[in-house]
Amino acid sequence: MREGMLRGVTVLDLASVGPAARASRWLADYGADVVKVGPVPAQDGVQITPPFHAYSAHREMRRALVDLKAPEGRDVFLRLADGADVVLESYRPGVVDRLGIGYDDVRARNPGIVYCSTTGYGQRGPRAAWAGHDLNYLATGGFLDCSGPGPDGQPPIPGATVADSAGGGMHAVIAILAALVRRSATGDGAYLDVSVAEGVLALMALQIDEHLATGARPGPRHGMLTGRYACYDTYVAADGRWLSVAAIEARFWSNLCRALGLERWADHQTDDDVQDEIRADLRAAFATRDRDAWIDELGPADTCVAPVLSVAELVDDPQFNARGAFVDAVHPCHGSFRQLAPTLAGMTRPSGPAAVPDSDLTDTDELLRAAGISPEESVELRRAGVVA
- In angstroms, the CA 308 to CA 316 distance is 14
- In angstroms, the CA 88 to CA 27 distance is 11
**Structure confidence by residue, pLDDT tens digits, 3-58:** 789 999 999 999 988 999 999 999 999 999 999 999 998 744 445 567 777 767 67
Of 378, 375, 387, 372, the residue nearest 81 (C-alpha)? 372
Q: What values do phi and psi take at 244, rounded to 5?
A: -105, 135
State which residues of the chain have pLDDT below 50: 1, 43-46
Of 164, 171, 268, 281, which one is the catalytic site residue?
A: 164
| Segments making up each domain of the chain, as ranges | 10-202+357-383, 224-308
Chain centroid offset of residue 20 CA:
9
Of 133, 211, 222, 334, which one is the catalytic site residue?
A: 133
Q: Is 222 a catalytic residue?
A: no
pLDDT of residue 348: 77
**Structure confidence by residue, pLDDT tens digits, 372-384:** 999 999 999 999 9
Q: Is 164 a catalytic residue?
A: yes
The pTM of the full predicted model, rounded to 2 decimals, is 0.92
CATH class belonging to 10-202+357-383: alpha beta
Of 74, 88, 102, 76, the residue nearest 16 (C-alpha)? 88
Helix 196-203, helix 205-214: angle, nearest 10: 70
- In angstroms, the CA 294 to CA 272 distance is 27
One-letter amino acid at 279 equals R
pLDDT of residue 46: 45
Domain 224-308 has CATH 3.40.50.300: no
The answer to whether residues 14 and 39 touch, using CB atoms and an 8 Å cutoff, is no
